[in-house]
Structure 1
Amino acid sequence: MEQFVVTFARGFGSGGKEIASRLAADLGIHCYENRILTLASQMSGLDENVFTEVNERIRSTGGFSGFLRGLPRSRQYITRNDEFVSDDTLFEYQKKIIRDLADTESCVIVGKCADWVLRGRENVVSIYIEAPRDFCIKRTVEHMKVTEETANATIEHTDKYRADYYKYYTRGNDWNNPVNYDMTLNSEKAGIDNCVQIIESYLKIKQLI
């Protein structure tokens, strides 16, 4: 096949984004996550912030990183009063971008329900990365420089948003159901580097690389 796509769903703090980025670097292809929002903004003519606000159900000025940076470091929990957001029109733009990418180049796509958007395509491999909570907390504390309490609350809330987002846009499917994916990996047990190698081995078995 001329091109292939690897999609990633990931629990917050599991290292899924890092695994996706490393895989893309090894294979010499692009890794798309927030850049999809930029492309959708350019296609629609709408401000990119509009897409950021509904990105996997996280609504906060400046995106999720800005949201985290604004939290007190000693805070014990995160209070969210934002209304549940689902903008079908914006999601349609994202779907078109994802499908256009799959039609034109080999790439890695993180999140955005890409596995469901591209379902049924023989040149698409879908991956789900998860890990025990303690491992995710430790990584979040190290990477985001927050307390364990804030890390735990952030993981819980973010994963809930992602699950709700996925369920809404995939017509009731469960985000963390392993049957939705070609492969589910525990990044703590396998290790970040080994996850990359395992996925590459699977791509070779599928004769995509």
Structure 2
Amino acid sequence: MAKAIITIGRQYGSGGREIGQRLAEKLGIKCYDSELLDRAAKDSGMCQEIFENHDERPTNSFLYSLVMDTYSMGYSSSAFADMPINHKVFLAQFNAIKEIAKEGPCVMVGRCADYALEDNPNLLSVFVHAPLENRIRRIATKYDLTDSKAKDSILKTDKKRASYYNYYSNKKWGDAASYQLCIDSSVCGIDGSVEAILNFVALKEAAAKKK
């Protein structure tokens, strides 16, 4: 299982981040969540606070072809210097994800990592979801919120994540066809979800060896 680069998309309140962290611990590899922002800030030379303020936030004026052209030119290009800040943030994260993947197996949470690495043969893309009522209970308990406030936070966060993913990738957030494995954490639980992913990794890599 040492080759796997596991990306985890997640509905808010489904426990996706915790699953990613425990999965990384089981495999003895790094888990990148907000750490992706740290790496992108360091590699690009941009202020970390900028990444935190624009984390997984969509933009209505994103020119994808421009950004991809700039990606091939690097941060020193004049095109990058002239880009709106949200374009720069996405490009820096996109680049950081690719660089991290080159360093070896890891777990990455969110930030369109599965899309950035879709051509990587070691990619295992996962989406973690759960019924809304289960997620409301989890968020309300975790942050001491009323059910109403927890629901509002969940719906807003999921909308933001979906808009970001759908706009910046060529896939649909939460659609089973966009991922290799989808897991309902309310059925499996956190530990069960981790075991399910571990089993899937083992099956995937065993099948790869037979080719």
Q: TM-score, normalised by structure 1?
A: 0.82
CA offset at residue 49 of structure 1? Answer: 0.7
Unpaired runs of 5+ residues, structure 2, are: 59-83, 207-211
Match of 1:189 among 187, 191, 200: 187
What corresponds to 1:203 in structure 2? 201
| Maintained 8 Å contact 2:2/2:27 | no
Deviation sequence 1:147-201 (CA, Å, 0-9, x none): 1111000000000000000011114x21011111010010001221111101001
* Runs of at least 4 residues off by over 3 Å: none
| Maintained 8 Å contact 1:4/1:102 | no
What corresponds to 1:177 in structure 2? 175
What corresponds to 1:47 in structure 2? 47
| Maintained 8 Å contact 2:4/2:201 | no
Question: Which amino acid letter does the alignment assign opposite residue 28 of structure 2?
Answer: G
Unpaired runs of 5+ residues, structure 1, are: 59-84
What corresponds to 1:98 in structure 2? 97
Relative to 1, partners in 2 of residues 1:146 and 1:104: Cα closer, same or farther, differing over 3 Å?
same
| Maintained 8 Å contact 2:10/2:110 | yes
| Maintained 8 Å contact 1:3/1:102 | no
Structure 1 segment 34-73 matched on structure 2, within 5 A: 34-57=34-57
CA offset at residue 90 of structure 1? Answer: 1.4
Distance 1:180 1:120 in 2: 14
CA offset at residue 44 of structure 1? Answer: 1.6
Question: Which amino acid letter does the alignment assign opposite residue 29 of structure 2?
Answer: I
The answer on 1:88 being equivalent to 2:101 is no
Structure 1 segment 10-21 matched on structure 2, within 5 A: 10-21=10-21
CA offset at residue 56 of structure 1? Answer: 0.8
Q: TM-score, normalised by structure 2?
A: 0.82
The answer on 1:110 being equivalent to 2:109 is yes
CA offset at residue 4 of structure 1? Answer: 2.4
